Amino acid sequence: MNVLWLILMCFAGLLMAWAEARASGQDRYPNIPEPMVFDMMRLLGAHKGEFETNAFGSTPLSGPDHGVSWAPEMEYAFMDGMAVEFEFPFENEWLAEYKLGLQATLGSFNGGRSAHGVQYMGIYDRTGHTWRNTLVYLLGHRFNGQWSTMNMLGMADISLARADQRNGLILNHSTFYNLTEQTVLGIEINYQDGYQGHLLVMPQIHQELGQQINLQLGIGANKNHHESSTYPEVGLRLVRQF
């Protein structure tokens, strides 16, 4: 619980930084797609009242594990630049975890072409009856009308005691290319440290199916740290905005 209180204190400080950024008038934000695998809780600079539901699923196409990981999510911006997320990850038909996320936009710079923020995720494991905390820093930049990037850097399973196999490094980089107004091509690289960590490379396509529905599909390769082989993996996310 000490870690949770520390994270809450950090968010209190971030709220003050967010208020200062708002007061400075930096309210222009770049429109950057969200990564498909490491999902965000609304875009940076989201407006109060924005609401989204989505579901993500992935499965290996070969290898010893043939299970399907999937999760429905709800995301809501309860004030400008601040969002909350509720997520329910399943392993096949088993509800494996409860997730509660908070995301704060810290401001924009470079004339509104860059923006940054922070994201916290609390995870309750229903099998082990344990609580884990993840904290990442978000940095996005739009180069022009076609190219943009979103970068995430943080730690998973945070422990002040520096316990073994905890405090794992998280790195997530995505590069996007707006092919048309409705179609975005991207590649996402996701790395997590530790025995249960992995390296995932996922090329993906985001296709708008109307003003409020977005379909994302990716096929890539995943290597778990405790395995010697790399296996192909497919992922899909369906997004509905309100």
Residue 101 has pLDDT above 70, yes or no: yes
Q: What pTM, to 2 d.p., does this model score?
A: 0.86
Count the helices and strands in the chain (H runs, E runs): 1, 14
* pLDDT at 14 (0 to 100): 54
Q: Give tens-digit pLDDT for 131-146.
A: 889 999 999 999 999 9
Q: How far is CA 128 from CA 97, 132, 159, 160, in A?
A: 10, 11, 17, 20
Residue 220 has pLDDT above 60, yes or no: yes
Q: Give tens-digit pLDDT for 22-77.
A: 555 456 899 999 999 998 999 999 999 999 999 999 999 988 888 999 999 999 99
Domain ranges of the chain: 2-177
Residue 1 has pLDDT above 50, yes or no: no
